[in-house]
Structure 1
């Protein structure tokens, strides 16, 4: 258990590192290299694509599998990052967040319509909740992802590249805060492991 938790923490640090590398490269390009926002975005996108590959490989090496959520996010970063570089259009990277979160929202909220809780399958065996807990968590994250998609779509269409990159960092903070808020709900619906029976 301790090793699994350590690997999970390391994996989260690696995933966060990809975002830090992207934002750090953009800031360096703008402040130090004095590049315009478009060129800075392309340089940062190269770093993001490379960091996403590393994150996926690290996940495989650490856990011997690719968990659904990191795989989903990693593939989106690779696909839209590559499209951004190929078509030389930074807007493709910006709409990644909209499409990715909208897709997650449709999957989660849509599953509830069929009396399923898709979040249970996306998280795998991270923890065990009651059916009510999984449905509640699926609804909460489905609505959260929908809000993220709407806010991102509004910001990238109305604000500068600099503002959008800053928003990208703020979004990670908001996601982390939302996740911490859900801990109370998770604990309420957590199914504790049953005590092993003792042989008589």
Structure 2
């Protein structure tokens, strides 16, 4: 399918809607207990069970409307299904909390592997949005890999030491805000290494 234009507000709503709904639902249901088949499920488990299909539905709608789905969305959906399923099946919220650590840790490791090979795998994901020379992509990739590693570590510390309510708030707003701030702080780097017509569309070897 070919790419289709999509209202940016609708796109943002479909991407951010599921985690925000998760946050709202948990805050309302955190003290709720549901008994099914003799097993008690607390509010976190209930909300997680609802979050998985909601996230999949939002990704499916994005795919239907735009005709494309990113590799990051596919990977995130797989992790949510696996660890969300384990959380509900084993009635253990730790699996869903660990999912965030593993997602960000995976991104950090994969970007690091690319860097060791002299490649920017971040460019593979975002090259069409940010046309830059190879040097710029390598610097940006190192910084983003470091940010992902920090986020994975921070999530691990928070879910192990803080309340579930604090973790839900941190995971919904804290980590995305930090990543957004990291990307925004790279404006000068992006401007410095931006491709121009004089570059002839060449940005160096090792970027694919």
Query: What is the TM-score normalised by the length of structure 2?
Result: 0.81
**Where do 1:103-182 residues align within 5 Å?**
103-123=106-126, 125-168=128-171, 169-182=173-186
2: CA distance between counterparts of 1:60 and 1:191?
30
Query: 5+ residue gaps in structure 1?
Result: 195-200
Aligned to 1:25: 25
- Contact (CA 8 Å) 1:69, 1:123: kept in 2 or not? no
Distance 1:113 1:174, change over 3 A: same
Deviations 1:58-98 (A, max 9, x none): 22112212112222222222221122112211100000011
Tell me what 1:197 maps to: none
Query: Do residues 81 (structure 1) and 84 (structure 2) align?
Result: yes
Inter-partner Cα distance in structure 2 for 1:83 and 1:190: 44
Does the CA-based 8 Å contact 2:130-2:190 persist in structure 1? no
Question: Unaligned stretches of 5+ in structure 2?
Answer: 34-40, 199-208
Structure 1 counterpart SS, 2:186: helix
Question: What is the CA–CA distance in structure 1 between the aligned matches of 2:107 and 2:174, rounded to whole Å?
Answer: 20
CA 1:62–1:133: 2 relative to 1, 3 Å: farther
For residues 139 and 192 of structure 2, the distance between their equivalents in structure 1, rounded to whole angstroms, comes to 11
Per the alignment, in what secondary structure is the counterpart of residue 92 of structure 2? coil
C-alpha distance in 1, partners of 2:29/2:146?
35
Counterpart in the other structure of 1:39: 42
2:105/2:149 contact within 8 Å kept: yes
Q: Number of paired residues?
A: 187
Q: Is the CA contact (8 Å cut-off) linking 1:84 and 1:91 kept in structure 2?
A: yes
Aligned counterpart, 1:16: 16
Query: Larger deviation: 9-18 or 139-148?
Result: 9-18
CA distance in 1, matches of 2:127, 2:89: 34
Q: How many angstroms apart in 1 are the aligned matches of 2:9 and 2:138?
A: 26
